[in-house]
Amino acid sequence: MKLLIVEDELLAASRLELLFKSNIPNYTIVGIAKSIEEAIDIIENNEIDLGFFDIQIEDGLSFDIFEKSDVKFPVIFTTAYNDYAIKAFKLNSIDYLLKPISEVELIVALEKFDKIWNKSKSTINSTIVDEIKQIVSGNYKERFTVKIGNKIEILKTDDISFYYSYNKGTYAKTNNNRDVLLDNALELIYPLLDPNKFYKISRKHIVNINYIKDIYAYSNSRLKVNMLHVGGEELIVSREKVKSFKEWLENS
């Protein structure tokens, strides 16, 4: 197996090499890149089976490698970011390892590589990479592009009253009471949204604070949220989220 390491910390790269010796038979490290340009040079001149990319390297974010080079191999990100948004990688045939890297987590990631990538030859979801890059850079998603019939529309997140799951699909309810089908699952969308505006009140609903009309006590110590300008959907705050929901309302 031919491996590429993108890492600007010598100790972290050495740690990876030690873990490889214990867990990857017949491996070859084709290169250790400390920068985006070094990584691109190695990618363009070598066949690579698997990459290990640190998110933050000396000349920027390793996500830029995907924009400047044709990355046809799977990537496991190594990162010090302990952020919920990064978990979106695990749902898109991409994985991440939190530093300091655990041998157990490495084994799990390698098993995923073997089951998903080696057998299905999947491709990296570039849309997700772009969106996670936004989050790591401190920006939140401001719009979606959605296909409606033969037309592609731009849907601003500020115009979305709430998001909901229905019949294995994810929808946005707009401020003019339209239901728009989105491409990604609710759990992938939520980390990309501004937490001062949006809150996930249950497994099925994310609400926009700017469109909350009123809130009522509901059965079993839950809350019912009514939204402005829209109807027909019952939005219930799950019991275990009532306390944090109230805190979010006060602090957003």
Condensed to tens digits (0 to 9), the pLDDT of residues 66-99 reads: 888 888 888 888 877 665 455 545 544 456 787 8
Give the Cα-Cα-Cα angle 235, 210, 158 (nearest 5 degrees): 100
* pLDDT surpassing 80 at residue 30: yes
In the CATH scheme, what is the code of domain 143-251?
Answer: 2.40.50.1020
**In percent, how much of the chain has pLDDT > 70?**
84
Q: Domain 2-136 is in which class?
A: alpha beta
pLDDT given for residue 6 in this prediction: 95
pLDDT of residue 91: 44
Query: What integer pLDDT is reported at residue 138 of this predicted model?
Result: 65
Q: pTM to 2 decimals?
A: 0.60
* Per-residue model confidence (pLDDT) at position 89: 58
251 pLDDT exceeds 60?
Answer: yes
Where do the domains of the chain lie?
Answer: 2-136, 143-251
CA 85, CA 91: separation in Å to the nearest integer? 11
Q: Across residues 25-43, what is the average pLDDT?
A: 95
User: Which DSSP category does 158 fall into?
Assistant: G
Residues 241, 245, 247, CA angle at the centre, nearest 5°? 125
* pLDDT top residue among 6 and 131: 6
Q: Is the pLDDT of residue 18 over 70?
A: yes
